[in-house]
Amino acid sequence: MTRKLGTQPPAPRRARTWGRVVAALGVLVAVLLVFPGLVPNTPGHLGSLLETFLPWLGLALPVLLLVALLCRSRGAAVALLLPAVAWLSLFGGRLSTGGAEGGAFTVVQHNISDVNPDPAATARALAGTDADLVAVEELTAPALPAFAAALAADYPHHTTRGTVGLWSKHPLTGVRLVDIRPEGVGKGWDRGLRAAVRTPQGETAVYVAHLPSVRMGPTTGLTSGRRDESAALLAEALTSEPLDRVILLGDLNGTLDDRGLAPVTSLMSRPDPSFAFSWPATLPLARIDQILTRSAQVTALWTLPATSSDHLPVAARIAL
| Three-state secondary structure readout of 252-319 | CCCCCCCHHHHHHHCCCECCCCCCCCCECCCCCCECCEEEEEECCEEEEEEECCCCCCCCCCEEEEEE
Claim to verify: residue 112 and residue 191 sit in the same structural domain: yes
User: Which of 43, 68, 95 marks a domain boundary?
Assistant: 95
User: Which of 61, 95, 129 marks a domain boundary?
Assistant: 95
Claim to verify: residue 179 and residue 284 sit in the same structural domain: yes
Claim to verify: residue 185 and residue 281 sit in the same structural domain: yes
What is the rounded CA–CA span in Å between residue 2 and residue 110? 73
Tell me 107's DSSP state. E
3 domain residue, yes or no: no
pLDDT number for residue 7: 52
pLDDT number for residue 180: 97
81 domain residue, yes or no: yes
Under a CB-based contact definition with an 8 Å cutoff, are residues 134 and 112 in contact? Answer: no
What is the rounded CA–CA span in Å between residue 67 and residue 170? 58
Claim to verify: residue 285 and residue 314 sit in the same structural domain: yes
| Sheet of strand 172-177: strand arrangement | 172-177, 192-199, 202-210, 246-251, 289-294
Claim to verify: residue 30 and residue 150 sit in the same structural domain: no
What is the rounded CA–CA span in Å between residue 260 and residue 223? 11
Number of domains within the chain: 2
Which residue intervals of the chain are DSSP H helices? 13-34, 46-52, 60-71, 74-79, 81-91, 119-127, 144-151, 225-239, 262-265
The distance between the two most distant Cα atoms of the chain, rounded to a whole number of Å, is 92
Q: What pTM was estimated for this model as a whole?
A: 0.89
8 domain residue, yes or no: no
Claim to verify: residue 148 and residue 268 sit in the same structural domain: yes
Under a CB-based contact definition with an 8 Å cutoff, are residues 133 and 316 in contact? Answer: no
189 domain residue, yes or no: yes
Which H helix or E strand runs over 109?
strand 105-111
What is the rounded CA–CA span in Å between residue 25 and residue 19? 10
Claim to verify: residue 74 and residue 109 sit in the same structural domain: no
Give all strands (DSSP E) within 149-254, no chain letters.
Answer: 157-161, 164-168, 172-177, 192-199, 202-210, 215-217, 221-223, 246-251
Claim to verify: residue 147 and residue 293 sit in the same structural domain: yes
187 domain residue, yes or no: yes
239 domain residue, yes or no: yes
Claim to verify: residue 52 and residue 130 sit in the same structural domain: no
156 domain residue, yes or no: yes
pLDDT number for residue 43: 74
Give residue 27's domain range.
13-95
pLDDT in tens, the chain (320 residues): 555 555 555 557 777 888 899 999 999 999 999 999 999 987 778 898 899 899 999 999 999 999 998 888 888 889 999 999 999 998 987 776 555 555 689 999 999 999 999 999 999 999 999 999 999 999 999 999 999 999 999 999 999 999 999 999 999 999 999 999 999 898 889 999 999 999 999 999 999 999 999 877 665 556 788 999 999 999 999 999 999 999 999 999 999 999 999 999 999 998 866 899 999 999 999 999 999 999 999 999 999 999 999 999 999 999 99
Claim to verify: residue 136 and residue 207 sit in the same structural domain: yes
* Class of residue 144 by CB neighbours under 10 A (exposed 0-12, middle 13-18, buried 19+): middle
Among candidates 198, 216, 193, 112, which has minimal Cα distance to 156? 198
6 domain residue, yes or no: no
What is the rounded CA–CA span in Å between residue 245 and residue 259? 24
Claim to verify: residue 223 and residue 315 sit in the same structural domain: yes
* Class of residue 184 by CB neighbours under 10 A (exposed 0-12, middle 13-18, buried 19+): exposed
CATH (domain of 266): 3.60.10.10
Claim to verify: residue 176 and residue 282 sit in the same structural domain: yes
User: Which of 32, 63, 95 marks a domain boundary?
Assistant: 95
